[in-house]
Amino acid sequence: MLKNSLLLILLVCITSLGFTQTKTDSITLIPQTQLNAAQRLLSGNYGSAVTVGAYGEMLYNQPESDNGELDIQRLVLLFGYRFNDKTQFVTEIEFEHVNEVFVEQAFVNYAVGSNVSIRGGLMLVPMGIVNEFHEPTTFNGTERPAMDNVIVPTTWREMGIGVTGRFNDISLGYQAYIFNGFKSTEANDEGGLSGFLKGSNGLRSGRQKAIRSTIDSPTLSTKLDYYGISGLRLGLSGYFGKTQAADDIETLDGANIGIRMIGFDARYAYQRFTARGQFIHASLSDTDLYNTATGQDLGSALQGFYIEGAYNLLPTDKEQKLFVFTRFEKFNTHADTAGNLVANEAYDRTDITSGLTYHIAPGVVVKGDYQFRSNASEVDTKDRLNFGIGVWF
């Protein structure tokens, strides 16, 4: 099955070579004008119906006192098609760890006017920075921030429909979508409930990823981006709704929980200096009933933040860039608990990541960093040395 999928995509790539590829000169580190992969395909700068591209990461992780791991973390193939001046289709096909295949995005974009477009299909949930801007050349660090793994959780995509656009006269971009939401439970063989959500990684295991997604209660996702100050981009995100459960169990106590998630993010660039920061808080309701029904340990609040600063060691007029950076992040999937659940201090985590990001050409990056990882309990969390190569074109 995987072999056939690889062959099909290879044939598509070969037959697409006569069409337009995304241009590497559109990759910028300036927050106000930065585009992610889907936005580059939609931008209309390439003058052809078909646009192709890709991004990927090859990583080496070396935990303290353990064997290291080498991995092709992901390879994502990008395809866009312009039907006419108003209607476009974008898809991303992702290979993870060589042996897993996912559709990361697949949506139709219809431009109603200069300030508004309607989108429908499989799309990224606009929460924080990295969930939308996760191409390897867009962030420092070999690995994505850890809180964007267990709290947001990246890569978070679901099926939905909504509107997006920007008002350049007031420097404001907006997004608003109705999505299907997380799956919380399913019936087990013993006649009870099995739960997907848990304390160790929060909501992550509940992502449905458009794999026969069930829906009984749509969720609302919104984001505002302000870019009216030179070099600065501010984001405010919101996500509200309930989780999903199958028809035969959705009325049972503890089958669903409520979710209210708020995020604030900021990116700044001035000459050789860049900085970014992010704060996410999620309040979950009915987790006591959910934990009782499933035997899980889901917290009633998830919270985290990080701040990061970076400085380019090379002259600004050079194509190459060499950033030295440090990121401090603190996140807790048991920021609060409900009922009889006692907070697990091992879920209160702190990571400090320092290293180098070397952009050897537009769209090619080599990374190296060291992570000091700890938590509030006596459980040991191993520090880690990381190296990686990333591409995006």
Tell me if residue 275 falls in helix, strand or coil. Answer: strand
Per DSSP, the residues of 359-385 read EEETTEEEEEEEEEEEESSSS----EE
Q: What is the pLDDT of residue 22?
A: 55
Tell me what the mean pLDDT of segment 353-358 comes to: 98
List pLDDT tens digits, range 338-349. Answer: 999 999 999 999
Q: Is the pTM of this model over 0.75?
A: yes
For position 45, which CATH number holds? 2.40.160.10
Among candidate residues 280, 265, 275, 272, the one with its CA nearest the CA of residue 226: 265
The share of the chain scoring above pLDDT 90, in percent, equals: 83
What is the residue range of 22's domain?
A: 2-392
CA distance 121 to 283: 27
List pLDDT tens digits, range 42-64. Answer: 986 555 689 999 999 999 999 99
Domains of the chain: total: 1
Among candidate residues 215, 33, 36, 2, the one with its CA nearest the CA of residue 123: 36
Q: What is the pLDDT of residue 17?
A: 44
CA distance 38 to 352: 31
